[in-house]
């Protein structure tokens, strides 16, 4: 917030406590700034306000003014006289005005909340034991915090459709729905593909899809996240694990260069779901469905689980010493990956510095159609990291044709591949057979089957590190689960290899140690530490790369520089 | 020579067998009595295949735990005889034997019945009718403490060592009182040290009535000498784990165990002989011949077991004394009392002899 | 607190000799010896299990044979020694109890860990887990002590139900308050 905006902030009084808020802030947010919770269902900070749940009812008043003179009315003790609105108002649709007074826990407010809760629970099926939302359910939370604690309803409850499949990834239970319409607004406003709506009237109002349509777009699971109750649940996560068992770890979506902030829910080394983490500068509170299935890669049958030479399992030390011998030659090429963390890419450049000879280095581009929201055209999460660390000088290509040429010429006899499949990047089997391939990767592929040495790599969920997204924002991810048995911890693969190369340097395999080196060697990162990067990330200077034609198009919170330049 | 030695060996074996069996059953008796006093049935499960499955008797014997000593003995025999690495091996193995042999050896001079032949001569049933029988018993039985001290020392471990030290101090303290307490008895019976003579002398009046203080001192000292509660300082489970035999197991522990009960039986035998009229009943003559011998042995055994029962009854009634209390009692109470007792009876006997 | 000093009475000669006390003790033990034993001879005689006894935790079925557990995992959550391990599962849509939607795929109680606290029974919203009267658990291997779902149902059997919550739910679905 700039100084100018700060000056414009208006004072309001929440339960007598003064708090400065930006003009236009609604009272739910304003009360939150004062540390007071105003319960709400339909209000969502990133969606339009409809005010239909009535849970955020509060009392509001403004300083009175004499109608004739315009003079402020004062109490006997000189304080301004507050003209309270004679009935409660909804906090979400009321914006703060200077000097406004708000009561969030007066008897009237409490009674209102009790009443609203009672109405909401009238037809609620109370199947918490089988409801996936239990544990993170607003209805449960507010019923205990603000409800009356018992039911007076003795009539029969309404029966509505349950267990309805409204999309490939979303299940709907209408009995649990409290008609907040968050999901309807989301599909209209963010996904821009409205498929949900209400039918019928009164207590028979039912959420459903438009005839012949289903909730299938790539943002459908966000409706599950914003559903305050268990009406919308994820088919993938359905009945897998109760949410209170999940250990939540901050992570990053690796499917594109947007770098959506995520929370990984895992229990005892097994990931059960990925949900978006709010970052108003990157992804707001949303993320694509496709990024939520990425955790399945940790459990694939094709994981590389052993250090191996010529396909035979060996000890890590054997693999590293042979790799160091092979790398200590002038005929080495390195193929890195845009999916590696910044630290891994950096350590690759350190390894390259120890290898005699020119050592050409490459990255493999992964592209797709950008959807203009949270899925960009560049499907590598960290190409900018490779540029930053100097692993590559230019934007990567899809095919490694230059490398193929070097192999044919015989100038390259050893290739260090990290996390990429060379066959998919245009090298033929013959070419691969002609060279010694050192494969460091998390999954088996054709390259690994032809590799001289195989070294297992941890996936993004099994290590900590950083990615640099399309905004040149350095974002941290933490280790959610331990790696597979027998795979070395953290950056050990790279530090051990580094130690065995000529003039070997010894580095701790942790992220902080790599960052100490990076702060010294990468000009943009001077003075940075890993711990100093906040959870919303930190933007690094992109001046060095202004000339590069990045392929991302505009998306949420992102405007490509070249596009800006072109318009100008 | 063999014709004289052989019957002696046979007799000795019979006696040893009998005493061992009695010791075994004394253990059973102890466990049963402990059970009853504590509201439990005691050992009642062990069964011998054929004998135990006889309908009524078998069940009864099993409930009574009659087969338990056999099972215990077999267990001691077949358990792994571990030899801890840190012990002094020679003395460690020697100690249980030293504890066991004196306990058995005292048996040789203890008469446990009488036989009146056709010639009218009454002889005691005893392995060796020594004139200095009681002296032998006192001398040899006090050798048993060496087994305990040696065991405690050879085990090379704290608790056994403390147990051994306590045993030596306790034994020395109470032996004095014990020996002094029985001197008046022998003075009473004309200065003989022959147990047979003492028993015969009690035909009408048991010594316990003539010399109650002597009997009390002897009994207390006997408890201390046999390491029975409330004087079981050497074992003292609550503070010394198992005292001198902490490091022992299997058969070697069994030897210590049997030695302890043998001590109790022999000690009771001596007490019966000295104070409770031995194998005689007041004013009831014992018939001649084999029948008389058997009756006399029966009477003696009955009295011995009554006393053994008393030992156990006391054990499950009284708590253990503190070590300093034991020493106090031995040196400051029993010893002066025994000396005073000796002096008083010396005067009384002198008076009786001179006046009478 | 005020301290009250009590005058200790000097012991009489008889008390100091300790002999009357010994006789008193002997009397007591002799009385005890003559009383019948109070022992319960366990494998032959079995104790009477009082009401509310907390034995082995078991899973129960309702009188209609429906498995009551819906694998809400509250017991797993509340279990202090973490003895319970549930793998939740979905009831297929063509099953008779399809309206319950959820049932445990696997339910394991590790009896080597269980401390018989009864919190699982207390927390169960479906009244599906009960600590009944089984108190003797034996086995030769560790695996035998990990009671699986079948074993838990076998031990639990069927208990009477006061609510028939899900049956009422089904009835309401069939002819309740339909909005169509």
| Residue B72 is assigned to a structural domain of this protein | no
Contact: C33, B317; criterion CB under 8 Å: no
Q: Report the CATH number at residue A201.
A: 3.30.70.20
Rounded mean pLDDT, B265-294:
82
Whether A372 and A424 map to the same domain: the answer is yes
| Residue A267 is assigned to a structural domain of this protein | no
**Which residues from C are below 8 Å from B when comparing CB atoms?**
22, 25-26, 28-30, 32-33, 35, 37-39, 41
Report whether pLDDT(C2) > 60: yes
| Residue B246 is assigned to a structural domain of this protein | yes
| Residue B66 is assigned to a structural domain of this protein | no
| Residue B137 is assigned to a structural domain of this protein | yes
Query: Domain range for residue A357?
Result: 308-462+482-527
State the pLDDT confidence band at C16, using cuts at 50, 70 and 90: confident
| Cα distance between residue A126 and residue A401, in whole Å | 62
pLDDT of residue A492: 93
| Cα distance between residue B160 and residue B170, in whole Å | 15
For residue B177, the distance in angstroms to the closest alpha carbon of chain C comes to 16
Whether A317 and A176 map to the same domain: the answer is no
Whether A396 and A458 map to the same domain: the answer is yes
Residue of A nearest to C86 (CA): A241
Rounded mean pLDDT, A67-86:
87
State the pLDDT confidence band at A568, using cuts at 50, 70 and 90: very low
Residue of C nearest to B220 (CA): C19
pLDDT of residue A321: 94
| Cα distance between residue A314 and residue A310, in whole Å | 10
DSSP β-bridge partners for residue A127: none
| Cα distance between residue C126 and residue C172, in whole Å | 19
CB-based contacts of A568, cutoff 8 Å, min separation 6 = none
- Cβ count near B324 (within 10 Å): 8
| Residue B50 is assigned to a structural domain of this protein | no
Q: For chain A, how far is it from start to end, CA to CA, in angstroms?
A: 27
pLDDT of residue B206: 85
Contacts of A240 in chain C (CB under 8 A): 88
Q: How many domains does chain B have?
A: 1
Q: Supply φ then ψ for residue A484, to 5 degrees.
A: -60, 155
pTM greater than 0.90 (yes/no): no
| Residue A183 is assigned to a structural domain of this protein | yes
Q: CA nearest A496: which of A524, A529, A455?
A: A455
| Residue A207 is assigned to a structural domain of this protein | yes
Query: Domain range for residue B274?
Result: 83-355
State the pLDDT confidence band at B353, using cuts at 50, 70 and 90: confident
Task: Report all structural domains of chain C as residue ranges with CATH numbers, in order of start.
Answer: 57-160 (3.30.70.3270)
| Residue A227 is assigned to a structural domain of this protein | yes
Give residue-wise pLDDT tens across range A490-512: 899 999 999 999 887 888 999 99
Report whether pLDDT(A328) > 80: yes
Q: Which residue is listed with tokens 């392929």?
A: A551
Q: Is B314 on the interface with C (CB under 8 A)?
A: yes
Give residue-wise pLDDT tens across range A132-172: 999 999 999 999 999 998 889 888 888 898 999 999 999 99
pLDDT of residue B173: 86
> Considering A194, A217, A240, which residue would you say is the last residue of a domain?
A240
| Residue A31 is assigned to a structural domain of this protein | yes
| Residue A282 is assigned to a structural domain of this protein | no
Q: Report the CATH number at residue A439.
A: 3.40.50.740
Rounded mean pLDDT, A77-88:
89
Q: Report the CATH number at residue A107.
A: 3.10.20.740
| Residue B65 is assigned to a structural domain of this protein | no
ipTM reported for the complex, 2 dp: 0.82
Q: How many domains does chain A have?
A: 3
pLDDT of residue B54: 78
Report whether pLDDT(B181) > 70: yes
Query: What is the count of residue pairs from B and C with beta carbons less than 8 Å apart?
Result: 34
| Residue A160 is assigned to a structural domain of this protein | yes
Report whether pLDDT(A525) > 80: yes
Whether A8 and A152 map to the same domain: the answer is no
Report whether pLDDT(A447) > 70: yes
Rounded mean pLDDT, B114-135:
76
Report whether pLDDT(B259) > 90: no
Rounded mean pLDDT, C23-44:
88
Contact: B316, C29; criterion CB under 8 Å: yes
Whether A455 and A512 map to the same domain: the answer is yes
Rounded mean pLDDT, A219-225:
95
Whether A409 and A312 map to the same domain: the answer is yes
Contacts of B40 in chain C (CB under 8 A): 37-39
């Amino acid at each position: 917030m700039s100084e100018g905006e700060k000056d414009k902030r208006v004072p309001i009084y929440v339960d007598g406590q003064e708090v400065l808020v930006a003009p236009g802030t609604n009272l739910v947010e304003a009360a939150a700034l004062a540390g007071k919770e105003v319960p709400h269902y339909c209000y969502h900070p990133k969606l339009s306000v409809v005010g239909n749940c009535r849970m955020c009812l509060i009392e509001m008043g403004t300083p009175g003014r004499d109608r004739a003179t315009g003079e402020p009315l004062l109490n006997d003790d000189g304080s301004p006289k507050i003209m309270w609105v004679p009935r409660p108002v909804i906090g979400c649709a009321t914006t703060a005005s200077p000097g406004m007074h708000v009561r969030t826990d007066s008897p009237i407010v409490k009674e209102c909340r009790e009443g609203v809760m009672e109405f909401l629970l009238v037809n609620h099926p109370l199947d918490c034991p089988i409801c996936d939302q239990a544990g993170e359910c607003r209805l449960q939370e507010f019923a205990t915090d603000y409800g009356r604690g018992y039911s007076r309803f003795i009539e029969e409850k309404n029966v509505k459709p349950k267990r309805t499949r409204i999309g490939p990834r979303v299940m709907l239970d209408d009995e649990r729905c409290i008609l907040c319409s968050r999901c309807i607004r989301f599909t209209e406003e963010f996904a821009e593909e409205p498929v949900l709506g209400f039918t019928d009237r009164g207590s028979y109002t039912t959420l459903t899809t438009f005839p012949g349509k289903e909730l299938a777009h790539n943002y459908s699971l966000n409706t599950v996240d914003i559903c305050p109750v268990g009406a919308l649940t994820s088919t993938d996560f359905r009945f897998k694990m109760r949410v209170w068992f999940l250990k939540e770890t901050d992570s990053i979506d690796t499917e594109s260069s947007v770098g959506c902030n995520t929370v990984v829910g895992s229990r005892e080394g097994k990931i059960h779901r990925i949900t978006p983490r709010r970052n108003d500068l990157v992804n707001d509170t949303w993320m694509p469905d496709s990024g939520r299935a990425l955790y399945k890669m940790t459990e694939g049958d094709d994981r590389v689980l052993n250090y191996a030479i010529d396909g035979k399992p060996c000890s890590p030390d054997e693999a590293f010493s042979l790799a160091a011998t092979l790398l200590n030659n002038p005929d080495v090429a390195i193929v890195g990956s845009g999916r590696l963390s910044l630290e891994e890419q950096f350590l690759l450049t350190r390894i390259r510095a120890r290898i005699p000879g020119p050592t050409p280095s490459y990255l493999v581009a992964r592209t797709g159609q950008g959807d203009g929201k949270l899925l960009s055209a560049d499907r590598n999460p960290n190409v900018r990291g490779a540029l930053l660390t100097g692993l590559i000088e230019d934007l990567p290509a899809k095919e490694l044709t230059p490398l193929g040429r070097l192999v044919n010429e015989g100038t390259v006899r050893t290739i260090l591949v990290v996390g990429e499949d060379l066959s998919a990047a245009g090298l033929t089997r013959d070419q691969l057979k002609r060279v010694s391939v050192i494969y460091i990767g998390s999954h088996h592929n054709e390259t690994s089957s032809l590799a001289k040495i195989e070294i297992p790599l941890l996936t993004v969920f099994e290590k900590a590190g950083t990615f640099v997204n399309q905004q040149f924002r350095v974002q941290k991810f933490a280790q959610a689960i331990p790696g597979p048995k027998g795979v070395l911890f953290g950056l050990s693969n790279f530090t051990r290899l580094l130690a065995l190369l000529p003039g070997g340097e010894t580095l701790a395999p942790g992220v902080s140690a790599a960052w100490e080196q990076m702060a010294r060697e990468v000009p943009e990162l001077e003075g940075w530490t890993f711990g100093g990067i906040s959870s919303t990330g930190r933007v690094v200077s992109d001046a060095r790369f202004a000339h590069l034609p990045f392929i991302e198009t505009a998306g949420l919170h992102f405007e490509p520089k070249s596009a800006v330049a072109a318009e100008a | 020579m063999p014709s004289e030695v052989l019957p002696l060996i046979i007799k000795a074996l019979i006696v040893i067998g009998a005493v061992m069996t009695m010791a075994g059953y004394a253990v059973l008796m102890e466990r049963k009595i402990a059970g009853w006093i504590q509201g439990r049935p005691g050992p009642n499960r062990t069964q011998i295949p054929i004998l135990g499955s006889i309908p009524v008797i078998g069940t009864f014997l099993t409930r009574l735990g009659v087969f338990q000593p056999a099972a215990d003995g077999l267990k001691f025999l077949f358990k792994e005889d571990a030899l801890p690495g840190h012990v002094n091996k020679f003395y460690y193995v020697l100690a249980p034997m030293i504890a066991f042999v004196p306990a058995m050896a005292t048996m040789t001079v203890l008469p446990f019945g009488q036989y009146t032949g056709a010639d009218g001569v009454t002889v005691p049933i005893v392995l060796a009718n020594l004139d200095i029988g009681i002296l032998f018993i006192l001398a040899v039985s006090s050798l048993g403490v060496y087994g305990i001290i040696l065991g405690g020392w050879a085990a090379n471990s704290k608790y056994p060592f403390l147990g051994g030290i306590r045993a030596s101090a306790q034994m020395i303290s109470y032996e004095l009182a014990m020996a002094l307490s029985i001197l008046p008895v022998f003075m009473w019976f004309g200065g003989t040290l022959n147990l047979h003579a003492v028993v015969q002398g009690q035909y009408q009046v048991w010594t316990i009535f003539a010399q109650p203080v002597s009997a009390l001192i002897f009994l207390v000292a006997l408890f201390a000498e046999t390491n029975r509660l409330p004087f079981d300082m050497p074992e003292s489970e609550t503070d010394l784990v198992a005292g001198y035999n902490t490091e022992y197991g299997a058969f070697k522990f069994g030897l210590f165990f049997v030695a302890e009960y043998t001590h109790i039986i022999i000690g009771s035998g001596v007490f019966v002989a000295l104070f409770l009229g031995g194998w005689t009943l007041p004013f009831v003559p014992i018939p001649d011949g084999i029948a008389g011998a058997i009756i006399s042995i029966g009477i003696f055994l009955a009295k011995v077991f009554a006393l053994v029962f008393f030992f156990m009854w006391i054990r499950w009634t009284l708590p253990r004394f503190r070590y300093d209390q034991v020493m106090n009692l031995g040196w400051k109470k029993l010893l002066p009392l025994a000396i005073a007792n000796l002096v008083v009876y010396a005067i009384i006997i002198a008076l009786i002899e001179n006046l009478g | 607190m005020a301290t009250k000093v009590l005058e200790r009475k000097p012991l009489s000669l008889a008390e100091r000799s300790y002999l009357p006390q010994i006789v008193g003790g002997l009397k007591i033990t002799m009385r005890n010896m003559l009383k019948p034993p109070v022992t319960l001879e366990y494998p032959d005689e079995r104790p009477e299990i009082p009401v509310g006894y907390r034995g082995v935790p078991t899973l129960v079925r309702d009188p209609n044979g429906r498995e009551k557990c819906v694998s809400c995992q509250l017991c797993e959550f509340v279990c202090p020694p973490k003895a319970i391990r549930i793998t939740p599962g979905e009831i297929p849509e063509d099953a008779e109890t399809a309206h319950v939607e959820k049932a445990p795929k696997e339910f394991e109680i590790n009896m080597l860990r269980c401390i018989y606290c009864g919190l699982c029974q207390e927390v169960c919203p479906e009244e599906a887990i009960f600590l009944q009267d089984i108190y003797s658990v034996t086995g030769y291997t560790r695996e035998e002590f990990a009671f699986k779902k079948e074993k838990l149902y076998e031990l639990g059997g069927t208990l009477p139900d006061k609510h028939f919550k899900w049956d009422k739910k089904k009835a309401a679905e069939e002819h309740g308050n339909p909005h169509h």
